[in-house]
Structure 1
Amino acid sequence: MYKKILITTDGSAVSNMTACAGVAFAEQMHAEILALYVAPEYQYPVYIEIIPPSYPSEEEYRIAMQRAGAEHLQAILDAAGKRGLPCQGLTTFADSAALQIVEVAKQHDCDLIFMGSHGRSGWGQLLLGSVTNKVLSHSKLPVLVHRLIKEPAA
């Protein structure tokens, strides 16, 4: 049914557990996996006149975020490898993670976006916003939302 599934991660424990569920789902579908980590764009310090020497350059920031992305994606790559599923990891940069997820899924011809929900409701969801809700409202592809019943231990 699904040939290529986009699985997102933000590196959190909830996201990692969701990613493992996504890999298990992909195995049932015999689908290829595209694992995605969206890093925030570099921000120049606008509140000061001179950039402090300890502040990372844009190049240093990008290198650090590529490294962090690779670390976050490794669990998905390992899980897919153990199941014999083809998997590619990708780290991208964007101010809006939700829009980037939708765009990457479209660019890479994915059939499904598999992502988690932290399960916030009420004011928590309203104040924090929800990447998952934004993906649901912007994606023309099917989005499978995995919701954990119990929060993982820290």
Structure 2
Amino acid sequence: MFKRILVPTDGSDITAHAVDTAIQLAKVHGAQLLTLSVMEPFPYSAVSEIQPVPPQEFIEAQQRVATKRVEDVCATAAAQGMACKGHTIEALHAWEAIVDHAKAENADLIVMASHGRKGFAALLLGSEAQKVLTHIDLPVLIVK
């Protein structure tokens, strides 16, 4: 039924559960497993010329972290006999990158974690999972 399954990762423990779920689904369906880690853009400030971290250092650190997250997912998949194709993308909003990447890669299922924020925290921080659900017409499996 599913041919291409995308599992975004932020490296958290809850995401690890979503990764395991995506791997099992990919095995059952004989699907290709895709993973994505979204990097934050450098927080340029118009107020000051002084930055706490130089832009190139920040960008390189973001790339290292995102690459490690993708490599971890692919290693977990490989340990279970699954191939995995990983990508890193810089984006201001993770949900937009996930939606755009799912479309670009012709994914037919997104498996993602929900951090389960409620109340005021959900109002302030929002939910990447909720935004993905709102902005895409693909099936999305939310793992808690």
Alignment equivalent of 1:66, drawn from 36, 60, 63: 63
Alignment equivalent of 2:76, drawn from 68, 76, 79: 79
In structure 1, the partner of 2:142 is: 145
Q: Deviations over 1:35-78 (max 9, x none)?
A: 10011111113332x225x6222x33222211101111222101
Checking the alignment, whether the CA contact within 8 Å between 1:15 and 1:116 is kept in structure 2 is: yes
d(CA) in 2 for partners of 1:101, 1:38? 8
The range that moved more, 22-31 or 130-139, is: 22-31
d(CA) in 1 for partners of 2:39, 2:109? 21
d(CA) in 2 for partners of 1:2, 1:136? 18
In structure 1, the partner of 2:34 is: 34
d(CA) in 2 for partners of 1:28, 1:125? 34
Measured after TM superposition, the shift of residue 83 of structure 1 is 2.4
Unmatched tracts of structure 1, length 5 or more: 148-154
Letter in 2 for 1:11: G
| TM-score between the two structures when normalised by the length of structure 1 | 0.86
Q: Which runs of 4+ in 1 moved over 3 A?
A: none
d(CA) in 2 for partners of 1:143, 1:36? 15
Alignment equivalent of 1:56, drawn from 45, 54, 57: 54
Question: What is the aligned length?
Answer: 144
Identity of matched residues, %: 37
d(CA) in 1 for partners of 2:129, 2:119? 15
In structure 2, the partner of 1:123 is: 120
Checking the alignment, whether the CA contact within 8 Å between 1:30 and 1:85 is kept in structure 2 is: no
The range that moved more, 39-48 or 130-139, is: 39-48
